[in-house]
Structure 1
Amino acid sequence: MFPLIGKTIIFDNFPDPSDTWEITETIGKGTYGKVFKVLNKKNGQKAAVKILDPIHDIDEEIEAEYNILKSLSDHPNVVRFYGIYFKKDKVNGDKLWLVLELCNGGSVTDLVKGFLKRGERMSEPLIAYILHEALMGLQHLHNNKTIHRDVKGNNILLTTEGGVKLVDFGVSAQLTSTWHRRNTSVGTPFWMAPEVIACEQQLDTTYDARCDTWSLGITAIELGDGDPPLADLHPMRALFKIPRNPPPQLRQPELWSAEFNDFISKCLTKDYEKRPTVSDLLQHKFITQIEGKDVMLQKQLMEFIGIHQCMGGTEKARHERIHTKKGNFNRSLISNLKDVDDLATLEVLDENAVSEQLEKCYSRDQIYIYVGDILIALNPFQSLGLYSTKK
C-alpha cells in the first residue's frame, strides 16, 4: 500500500489520535466530514475535532486548511489549531483528524436566530462588535496573503467567554508574490461576491481579497435579518441573480441606523476594485462606535450565549458551498434530473443537463422555459393553439 500523500504532505507520518484524544460528543456535520467534541486523555483539555472522510481521495481543500491552520491560527480571532492526526481503519477507511479549539458558544447564525425566535433582534453595538472581531481575523489572513472565500455566519464561531473566531478554511486561497488574484468560483452561493461568480462563465475574470468584504456585508445583513438575501431561492438561481441584481440591503433598512446601512452598502459595492478592504472597514463609523465598549460588549455577548444555550438553541440551516474548479458542484448538491420550469434551479447545471431538459420540454410541447431571468422559446414546428388570431 502506497503512503497517503497530498501535494506536499505525507499524511501517514501523522500520529494516531487514539493515544491522545477520546470522542465524547457529536457536535455537527461540516462540509467534508463530521465534527466531534473530544477530551485529551493526558491533561483533560476539551477540543473539537473535524474528521475528514473519505481520506483516500486527498483533495486540495484539506491540504489548504491544514497549511492555513498550521501557519495562521495564532490570532485571537482565528480558531486555534492543536494538531493533525491520521487514524488507520481497514474497515471504515482511513481518516484525518484536525483537532481545533472548542468554540462551544455556537455560531453567530445560531445566536441571531435565537434572538429572532424570541421576537427580539440583536443590538447594533453587538453586531458591530461581532463584525469588528471578524474583520480583525480577516485582516490577519489578508496581511498574510490568504483569502477566506467562505465568510458567513456559520463560519464565525463564539466561545462562552465571548470570543469571536473565524473557522473553516477548506476553500481558502493563499496568494503568492506573483499571483495576487484568483480565478476559481468557490464559496457558498448566497454569500458569494459577483466577481467570484463571474469566474465560472468568464475564464479571464479574477478577484482579490475584497471578495471577503462582500461576504462580510452579506453576513451583516444575516445578523440583522436572520438570513442572507435570496435565501428563499434555490442556490443555483441565486447565483444567476447576484451579478444581475442591484446590491442587496436589509429587509427593512428604515429600522436600522444610517451608519449600519452605510457599512453594508460599502461592503456590497459591486465593482470590487472600488470596494473597501477590511482595513478600510475597521475605520468605518459603524465599527468604531465600539471603541471603549469592547469589554462591556464581550460580557453582554457571553450573557446572550448563556441565554441562548439555556433555551436549547435553534434548528441549524445548512447552505452547501460549491467549487467549480473541478467542473462540477459539491456532491451533496447532485440529485436525479427532474422536470423544472427554470433551468437555474437544476442542482447540476451543465451542458448535458440543459440539453436533456430542453429535449423533454420539446417532447411535451412546452415551448417556454426560464434560465434565471432569461426566457427561452423552443420552436414547436406546429400550431399549439396558444395564441388566438384576435388582436
Structure 2
Amino acid sequence: MEENQDGRLQEGGPSSLVPISDNQIDSVDYNPELDNDASDETVMKRGCFVSLAGLFRKGGEKSVLYGDDVVIGRPVGLTRMIHISRDPTAPFGLKGLPTGWEKFLNDPKTDSNSVTPRTNRCLDILSGDPFFSVFVSTLRETFPEADQVTIVEDDPATFYSLSTKQIGEGGFSKVYQGTSQEDGHLVAIKVLSDTELKPVCMELLLQKAVSHAHVVDVERTFLWTHQLYIVMENMDRGSLASFVGPAVRFPEGAIAYVCKCILEALAVMHAARHIHRDIKSDNILLSSEGAVKLSDFGNATALTEAGQRSSRMGTIYWMAPEIVRREEYTGKADVWSLGITALEMADGAPPHSEEQPLQALLLIKSSPSPKPKHPEEWSEAFLDFLRRSLDTDVDARASSEELLQHPFLQTAWSVEEFKAYINSISYRDRD
C-alpha cells in the first residue's frame, strides 16, 4: 500500500477504497498470528481508508486472510461512548475530553459567547405530525411570523429568578412568580414536563398569532432538564375566578367591561380561523391596573377549511351544547362560553355547577338557554346580551364580531373604574 497526498492508504484505485469513520471503529491492529509475512502497512489507523483488496486477497503470500472471497458489511447499531470524569490534575479538571474539545477550550478566542444555545422553531417541531397538519397549514397561511416562535434550550435561571411562590396551577402545569434578572420586572413562569412539547408549541403559536392587548403576552420559552418554562407577563390580581362567588355580585358595568375586552380578543382570533375552546373565569386574568386578558391557549385550535371542528374540548360547565352533542362547531362555541362567564359573574357560579359532571353534560345538551337566577334584577340590555350569546340554535347565536356591536357593551366601565372596583375587593369578600 502507498499513502497518497491526503494521508489515505491506497491500493487498486479509488474504487477499492472503503471509509471507516470515527463512529464505526477507533482502531484495528493486524494480528501477526494470521500471517507472519504481513507488513505493518496492513495496520488500520483511526479514520483512514483501507483497501479491501489488500486485506482480503484470494491467495498469495501477502494475503491477510486465505480462502474464498469475503463480503464485508458495514457495522450497524454502534454508538460511540465518551467517558468523562472529574480529575483535578487533568486539563480543565476533566479526564477523557476528546482532543477536539480540548483544542476548542484552549483556543484563546473561545469564551462564554462561543456556545450558542440551540433554538427550536415550533413549526419545525410540529411539522410531519399528521395530528397537527391542519393546524400547521392554517397557521402558515394566517400567521406569517409563525417561524419566529421558538423554544430555546437554555437554563431559565440565567435570565430569571424563579420564586417558590406558586400563583397558579393547571392540569399538567404549575405557575410560579419570577423576576427578570435584567431589569427586575415581575413575570409568571409556567412549568411543565417536556412530554407536553408539541401541545405547548401549538399553544405558543396560537397565543402569538393572536397578538392583542387583551391576550396575555409570552416573553420567551425555555427547554431545560426535561422541563418547559413559559415566561409570561405577570397579571398580579390573578384570575377572574378568584373574584367570582356568592358574596360578590358584579355590577353590570364591570360585567360589560370584562365581556368587551374578551370579545375584542376573540374577534381577532376568530377572524384568523382559530378557536380558544376554553373560555371561562379561570382563564381570564386581571391586573391591579385594570387590565383584563385572555390566557391559557392549551385547548385552542385552528378551524378546518370549512371553518369547523368536531373534537370535544373545553371545561364542562362552560361547554357549548353543540360540543356536548359532538357536532361540528365554530367560533360561536367561544361566544357561548363567554355568555356562561357573564352569568357566572352575575350569579356567582355557572349554570348546573351544583350537578355532577355527567348530569351537567346531559342538562347542557337538553335544556333551554340558561338565564340569571333573578332576571328581574338585571337590565333588559344585559338579558338580551345573554339571549344572543346563549342561543342553543348555533345559526341564531351571535358571533363575536356581532356581539361587539351590542348595546350592552356601551355600558362598560372605563379602565379606571374597573381598576378601582377590582382593587376594592379583598380576599375576605370573595368567600
Using structure 2 for the length normalisation, give the TM-score: 0.63
> Aligned partners of 1:12 and 1:301: how far apart in 2?
36
For the pair 1:192 / 2:332, whether they are aligned, the reply is: no
Instruction: Quote the residue 1:65 is aligned against.
Output: 203
Aligned residues: 290
Name the SS for the 1:9 alignment partner.
Answer: helix
Tell me, yes or no, if the aligned pair for 1:104 and 1:158 is still in contact at 8 Å: yes
Q: Distance in 2 between matches of 1:44 and 1:133?
A: 28
**Pair 1:49 & 2:49 matched:** no
- Per-residue deviation, residues 325-381 of structure 1 (Å, max 9, x unmatched): xxxxxxxxxxxxxxxxxxxxxxxxxxxxxxxxxxxxxxxxxxxxxxxxxxxxxxxxx
- 1:250 paired to 2:383: no
Partner SS for 1:112: coil
| Other-structure match for 2:391 | 269
Which of 209, 213, 218 does residue 76 from structure 1 map onto? 213
User: Which amino acid in structure 2 is aligned with residue 198 of structure 1?
Assistant: R
1:40 corresponding residue in structure 2: 180
Q: CA RMSD in A?
A: 2.3
Q: Secondary structure at the match of 1:100?
A: strand
Classify the secondary structure of the residue corresponding to 1:186.
coil
- Is 2:233 aligned against 1:101? yes
Conserved 8 A contact 1:109-1:226: no
Match of 2:395, SS state, is helix
1:212-361 alignment runs, 5 A limit: 212-290=334-412, 294=413, 297-309=414-426, 311=427, 314=430
Give the drift of 1:84.
Answer: 0.6
Partner SS state of residue 187, structure 1: coil
Deviation by residue 1:225-284 (Cα, 9 ceiling, x = unmatched) = 110000001112211110111111111111111111111111111121221101100111
Query: Which residue of the partner structure matches residue 329 of structure 2?
Result: 207
Quick check: 1:27 aligned with 2:144?
no
Gaps of 5+ in 1: 89-93, 200-204, 316-391
Q: Residues 33 and 52 of structure 1 are in contact (CA less than 8 Å); yes or no, is this contact kept in structure 2?
A: yes
Residues in 1 aligned to 2:259 and 2:160: alpha-carbon distance in whole angstroms = 33
**Match for 1:270: what amino acid?**
T
Corresponding letter in the other structure for 2:189: V
TM-score, scaled to structure 1: 0.70
Secondary structure of the corresponding residue to residue 261 of structure 1: helix
Partner of 2:307: 180
Percent identity over paired residues: 32
Matches within 5 A, 1:142-161: 142-161=270-289
Q: Within 2, Cα distance between the matches of 1:140 and 1:183?
A: 21
**Equivalent-residue separation in structure 2 for 1:108 and 1:13 (angstroms):** 31
Deviates more, 1:140-149 or 1:223-232: 140-149
* 266-275 or 4-13, larger mean C-alpha shift: 4-13
3-state SS of the aligned residue for 1:34? strand
Alpha-carbon spacing, 1:283–1:270, altered in 2? closer, same or farther (3 Å): same
The alpha-carbon deviation at position 61 of structure 1 amounts to: 3.1
Q: Deviations over 1:174-233 (max 9, x none)?
A: 125x2410010000000000111111xxxxx31111100110110110010110000001
- Which of these residues, 94, 99, 111, is aligned with residue 243 of structure 2? 111
- The Cα offsets for residues 98-150 of structure 1, whole Å up to 9 and x where unpaired, read as 1111111222222233xx43xx5211111111111111111121122110100
In structure 2, C-alpha distance between the alignment counterparts of 1:250 and 1:60, rounded to whole Å: 40
Give the whole-Å Cα distance in 2 for the aligned partners of 1:259 and 1:224: 14
Q: Structure 2 matches for 1:5-16, cutoff 5 A?
A: 8-9=124-125, 13-16=152-155
Q: Which has the higher contact order (CA 8 A, sep 6+)?
A: 1
CA drift at 1:66 = 1.4
Between the aligned partners of 1:227 and 1:274, the Cα distance in structure 2 is 25
Contact in 2 for aligned 1:64/1:171 (Cα 8 Å): no
Which of 143, 167, 171 is the equivalent residue of 2:295?
167
> Which of residues 132, 135, 142 in structure 1 aligns to 2:263?
135
Distance 1:13 1:257 in 2: 51
Q: Secondary structure at the match of 2:372?
A: coil
Following the alignment from structure 2 to structure 1, what is the Cα–Cα distance between the partners of residues 177 and 151? 24
Question: 8 Å contact 2:122–2:151 — kept in the other structure?
Answer: no
Over 3 Å counting, the alpha-carbon distance change for 1:181 and 1:303 in structure 2 is same
Separation (CA, whole Å) in 2 of partners of 1:308 and 1:257: 24
Q: Which residue of 2 aligns with 1:360?
A: none
Contact 2:343 2:349 in 1 (8 A): yes
Q: Answer with 1 or 2: which has the greater Rg.
A: 2
Q: Which runs of 5+ in 2 are unaligned?
A: 1-78, 80-117, 127-149
Distance 1:132 1:13, change over 3 A: closer
Counterpart residue number, 1:354: none
Work out whether residues 125 and 198 of structure 2, in 8 Å CA contact, stay in contact via their aligned partners in 1: no
Residues 282 and 288 in structure 1, CA contact (< 8 A), matched pair in contact too = no
8 Å contact from structure 2 (residues 151, 220) kept in 1:
no
Q: Deviations over 1:285-343 (max 9, x none)?
A: 111233xxx5xx3212212222224x45746xxxxxxxxxxxxxxxxxxxxxxxxxxxx
Within 2, Cα distance between the matches of 1:13 and 1:49?
A: 15
Which amino acid counterpart does residue 185 of structure 1 have in structure 2?
R
Change (3 A) 1:147 1:198: same
Alpha-carbon distance in structure 1 between the residues aligned to 2:429 and 2:206? 30
In structure 1, what is the Cα distance between the partners aligned to 2:336 and 2:420?
30
Of 101-110 and 128-137, deviating more is 101-110
SS in 1 for 2:230: strand
Secondary structure of the corresponding residue to residue 39 of structure 1: strand
Kindly tell me: are residues 133 and 7 of structure 1, through their superposed partners in 2, closer, same or farther at Cα, counting changes over 3 Å?
closer
